[in-house]
Amino acid sequence: MIRIKICGVTTPEDARFAADAGADAVGLNFYPKSPRFVTPAQAVSLVRALPAFTAPVGVFVGMPLRQVCAVAFQLGLRGVQTYEERPPEEDTFPFAHVPAFRVKDATGLEYIRKFVEAATAENRRPAAVLIDSFVAGEMGGTGHVAPWELLRGFDPGVPLILAGGLTPENVAEAIAVVRPWGVDVASGVEFAPGKKDPGKVARFVKIARAAVSQPESR
């Protein structure tokens, strides 16, 4: 089974449609420099639009973890995705912590392994790790594809969520190569930044679900 997150949702209508299309999670971006940025106040209506079993996940960059958890508590988020340079010094429980990493080479994979090991040693094991493409100065949503071949067979020790340039056209191949636990898409299902295309969202979910039954790419 593949888990699917539609990230960078900015309207209640898009949040509800993503859920109705079969997404497991919807991402709310609290990074002010993102074209998909929403404030906590704006996010209230998005969370309210979600049905009971679709998880709202907050995306945070450069915000102290205590403040991240405060926002998560205020909105009733299920998980928090952060861009971390080191394992967290505080526990995010009851919010699932998904540290995100922008990877361009094997050094990045070794860094993720050490991050997970260090966090686990401190009893702060991540719920999963998200791997995105590396684009200088950008924190996700760039449309650039992550290094799939580099990730083939990579086991970080926790579930792996693949992001970076995924679209309805390439998600099946990405899943065949990487075999991730989950996939995360933002720009690949939009007609404009922060504006989801219902047709693309529905096709992405359908194709991703079907892809897990295909044989591994060689």
Catalytic residue IDs: 7, 132
Strand-pair partners of 28: 58
Q: Which amino acid is at 136?
A: A
Residue 184, helix vs strand vs coil:
strand
Q: Are 26 and 47 in contact (CB under 8 A)?
A: no
- Residue 210, sorted as left (phi over 0), alpha (psi -120 to 50) or beta, turns out to be alpha
Backbone phi and psi for residue 58, each to the nearest 5 degrees, phi listed first: -90, 140
How far is 159 from 197, CA to CA, in rounded Å?
28
Which H or E run includes 161? Answer: strand 160-162
Are 31 and 59 in contact, with CB atoms under 8 Å apart? Answer: yes
Q: Which residue has the tokens 């994979």?
A: 109
Residue partners of 119: CB distance under 8 A and separation at least 6: 87, 88, 99, 125, 126
Helix (H) or strand (E) holding 12, with range, is helix 12-21
